[in-house]
Structure 1
Amino acid sequence: MVRGGPGAASRGIRGVGQRPRAGRGVGGPGADAEGDPQRGSAVAEFVMVSAVLMLLFMACLQIGFALHVRNTVQDASSTGARYGALRDRTPQDGAERTREILSASLPQRYAQDVRASVTSDGAQRVLQITVATPLPVLGPWGPAEGIEVSGHAILP
């Protein structure tokens, strides 16, 4: 007996070598009522990929913020050192200027530990402004002993 014949395709009967019609899967483990084992996995995949992408995005933002803090502190200490090295200024004026710049750019806690000192480099006297700030690890929070940067300027 030959399988098939008129109307066989509409009754779901296949001949030898014929493929199943599109949209109809073969039942098996994990298959739903319609027999499609992949049905519904797009939602789970979207959630998992979105979570990984969100973590990656947040890590990039955190690294960017840490670099912003470091660069701002470095610039403020250098500017304060140059300001304090002016002929009519003192090293404490340079430290105060550094605090003002940091307070205007970053949260107040980043401007708490600013020190000024005068050192010598051969025959030159050098003003050194040192700033110790927390390193932001999780948002703006981090260990208190995070980074320490210094700015230098030659005194007249």
Structure 2
Amino acid sequence: MSVRLAAERGSAVVEFVLVGMLLLLLFLGVIQVGLVLHVRNTLAADAAEGARHAANLDAADDSGGPYAERLIVSSVPGRADTRCTSGAAVDPSGVPLVEVRCEVVVPLAVMPFGANTTIKVVGHAVKETP
């Protein structure tokens, strides 16, 4: 039989609340990191697909940006604010490329006061030449 002091009454409840809040914040942080990584990976795949679209022989170099934006709107719900640009580029060895740059602002649910992070990705593809 344990003897409880009057000063220790209710301390288990306070400890549970304090530890529970820390675990909840840790859990929400893991969820937020997973969400940001998912959005980044989807943006990178869609930017690369936009670059491949614009790299076709019969496509203009600047058609990759709007194509990537349409892909992003359909693959990441609620990301209609994505901005993508595309244009011609040349790698250091002289191979003609098409480059698509996309950026999107992702809200951070764990951070207070509406904190956001901006994710920027770049997709490249070799331009087809006749």
> What's the TM-score once normalised by structure 2's chain length?
0.80
State the Cα distance separating 1:127 from its structure 2 match: 0.2
- Look up the match of 2:52: 82
CA deviation vs aligned residue, 1:16-38 (integer Å, no higher than 9, x gap): xxxxxx25x37xxxx33xxxx54
Q: How does 1:22-41 map to 2 (within 5 A)?
A: 22-23=1-2, 25=3, 31-32=5-6, 37-41=7-11
The partner residue of 1:47 within 14, 17, 31 is 17
Question: Does residue 116 of structure 2 align to residue 142 of structure 1?
Answer: yes
Q: Percent identity?
A: 28
Q: Deviations over 1:96-153 (max 9, x none)?
A: 2200111112223442x2111101223321000011222543368515xx23211000
Larger radius of gyration, structure 1 or 2? 1
Provide the aligned C-alpha RMSD in A: 2.3
Q: Give the AA of the match of 2:46.
A: A
Higher relative contact order, chain-length normalized (CA < 8 Å, sep 6+) = 2
Distance 2:115 2:41 in 1: 17
| Structure 2 counterpart of 1:97, from 35, 42, 67 | 67
SS at match of 1:108: coil
8 Å contact from structure 1 (residues 81, 94) kept in 2: yes
Cα deviation for residue 94 of structure 1 reads: 1.8
The unaligned stretches of length 5 or more in structure 2 are: none
Alignment correspondent of 1:152 = 124
What are the superposed Cα offsets for residues 37-92 of structure 1, whole Å, 9 maximum, x if unpaired?
54422222211111111011111111111111211111111111011112232223
Cα distance in 2, alignment partners of residues 50 and 123 from structure 1: 58
Count of aligned pairs: 123
Deviates more, 1:87-96 or 1:115-124: 87-96
Pair 141,99 (structure 1): closer, same or farther in 2 beyond 3 Å: farther
Answer 1 or 2: which has greater helix percent: 2
